[in-house]
Amino acid sequence: MQKAIRVKALDVHYGRSRALKSVSMDIPERSVVALIGPSGCGKSTFLRCLNRMNDTVPGAKVEGDVEVDGHSVYRNGTDVVELRRQVGMVFQKPNPFPKSIRDNVLFGPRLHRRMDRAECDRVLESSLRRAAIWDEVKDRLDAPAMGLSGGQQQRLCIARALAVEPRILLMDEPCSALDPIATAKIEELIQDLKKELTVVMVTHNMQQAARASDYTGFFYLGELVEFGTTKQVFENPREKRTEDYVTGRFG
Binding residue for another protein (CB under 8 A) from 210, 212, 224, 225? 210
3-state secondary structure of 181: helix
Among 206, 214, 223, 241, binds another protein (CB under 8 A): 206
One-letter amino acid identity for 204?
H
Q: Is residue 24 at the binding interface for another protein, with CB under 8 A as the rule?
A: no
Judged by CB under 8 A, the stretch of 49-57, 131-139, 188-196, 242-250 that binds another protein is 242-250
Does position 242 interact with another protein (CB under 8 A)? The reply is yes
What's the rounded Cα separation, in Å, for the pair 113 and 122? Answer: 14
**Least distance to another protein, CB of residue 234, Å:** 4
Rule CB under 8 A: is residue 215 a binding residue for another protein?
Answer: no
SS3 38: coil
Which range binds another protein by CB under 8 A, 17-25, 56-64, 96-104, 204-212? Answer: 204-212
Rounded CA gap, 201 and 219, in Å? 13
Q: Residue 183, interface with another protein (CB under 8 A)?
A: no
Angle, alpha carbons 85-9-39 (nearest 5°): 75
Which range of residues in 95-103, 113-121, 128-136, 206-214 is near another protein by CB under 8 A? 206-214
Contacts of 226 (CB under 8 A, 6+ apart): 217, 218, 233, 237, 238, 239, 241, 242
Tell me the C-alpha distance between 17 and 73, whole Å: 23
- 95 binds another protein per the rule CB under 8 A: no
For the chain, helix (H) and strand (E) counts, in that order, are 10, 10
Please state the closest distance from residue 216 (CB atom) to another protein, in A.
Answer: 10
Q: Which is nearer to another protein, 100 or 183 (CB)?
A: 183
Looking at 11-19, 66-74, 156-164, 205-213, which segment touches another protein (CB under 8 A)?
Answer: 205-213
Q: CB of residue 247 vs another protein: minimum separation in angstroms?
A: 5
* Of residues 36 and 164, the one with the C-beta less far from another protein: 36
Neighbour tally for 99: CB within 10 Å = 15
Residues 222-241: x where in contact with another protein by CB under 8 A, - otherwise, as a string: ------------xxxx----
With respect to another protein, which residue has the nearer C-beta, 159 or 233?
233
Phi, psi of 86 (to 5 degrees): -75, -30
Q: Which amino acid is located at 157 in the chain?
A: C
- The span from the CA of 45 to the CA of 21, in Å, is 11
Q: Is 140 helix (H, G, I), strand (E, B) or coil?
A: coil
Would you count residue 246 as binding another protein (CB under 8 A)? yes
Residues 233 and 242: beta-carbon distance below 8 Å:
yes
Kindly state whether residue 61 participates in binding another protein, applying the rule CB under 8 A.
Answer: no
Binding residues (CB under 8 A) for another protein: these are: 206-207, 210, 234-237, 242-243, 246-251
